[in-house]
Structure 1
C-alpha cells in the first residue's frame, strides 16, 4: 500500500481489528521490517534504518499502552524526550560541570517547564508515571512528542483506555501538537467522533490494503467501508444509519 502524509496534516487510519493499522505504524517506525517497497522521510530512504535511527531523524511513535519510564517522574520523562536536541552534551562536560553542560541543562529545563505548564501537567511534575491515570499518561506522551520536536508522529490509539471526558480533551491537544510542531500526524483510532473532529483525511484499511481514502465524511460514508464494518447484510447497513460507521 502507498501512504503519503504531508507536514501539518493529520491522517487517520481506520479498519477492523487485523486490518494492518498498527503493523503499518510499526513498519513506518522501524519496529517491524517490510517485505517490499520503501519508507521515506522528507525524500530520504530510511527503509534500512533502525527504530532508534528513525527516532533521531524525527519519527515519533506512541503505543496503545502508553510506554513511559516507570522509575522516572513526569518532568524527568519529558526531559529524556528532549535529549536528541542536546547537541553539546558529553560525559566529560557533565562530569566536570563545564558551561556547555549547564547551558544544555538550562535549555532542557526551560522547555520542560513550558510544556508542563501549557499541558496542565505542572502539578504532576514530581509524580512517578506509574501513579498517573491513563488519560494523564496520554498527555505526558504528547508532552514527550512536543519535546522531541518530531517531524512525523505515529499515534496508536491515543484514546484507548481513556474516559469519555478525557477522550474529548484529546481533540484540542492533538491539534495543538500538530500546530506547534508542524508535523505530519498519523493516527490509528477506533473513536470515530474523535477522528471526524481532528483529521484532515482518513484512510480505511482491510487486510493490509487501502479500500477508501478522502475526507472523514467521504470515507465514513463509503460503501466499502460500511461493508467492512457491517458486512453485506443490507438490513444491518440500513439499521446502522446512512453513512454511519459504528464505534
Structure 2
C-alpha cells in the first residue's frame, strides 16, 4: 500500500525517534523518520500493538446464549450444558496469537485444578479462519489434541458469540457465578510475552476461589491484553 506523507505530520515527528518500522527495504532503523524517507511515497507497516479488553458486557450481566461446534468432537456445545455450575469460565483464544501461546500451559493447569471443584471451562475461537489459516477449525483441532485440552474448544465462525460477549482480544476471560452472572472480566495475571514476569494465573485464580466460595470478587480487575480478534470483513 502506497502512503502519501503529510508534511505537517512529518514536521511533528521530525525530532522523534520512532520504534522500528518495516520499510520497503525490509530493514529496521531507529533514525528519525524524515531521514529514512527518500520520496513522499513509501511502504510503511506500523508496529503491531496489543489490544486491551476495556469495554465489555457489564459485571452482573447474564451468560449470553451460544451453541457452537467443538473442533475436536464435532458436536455442538451450548451454554445450557454449563448452567448451574458453581463457576463458568469462557475463554476467547486462538492458535496464532503469541499472547495465547504464552499462557496456554497455565490455562490447562487452571482447568485441571478447578474443574474437579465444580467449575466449567470453555474455550472459543472467533477469528477469521480464512484470512488466518492457523485459526481455522482444522488447526485449532490439532492444537487441542496436541495439548490435550481438558475443556472443549469451540469455533465461532459467524463471530456472533464474540459480539454477544463484546470480546475484543485473545485471550479474553469471562467468569460467571452459579447464577450465570458475570463476576470477573480481567486478565489471567500480569505476565505478558515481553515483560519477563512469570505466568502464575494469580488474578484469575483469586477470582475463581472467590466465586467457588460465593464470596465477592475484588473490585479492581485488570483488563486482559492480547491480539485483537480478527473480524470478518
| TM-score, normalised via structure 1 length | 0.22
Of structures 1 and 2, the one scoring higher in RCO (CA 8 A, sep 6+) is 1
With structure 2 as the length reference, what TM-score do the two structures score? 0.23
* Greater Rg by CA: 2
As a proportion of its length, which structure holds more strand? 2
Report which of the two has the higher share of helix. 1
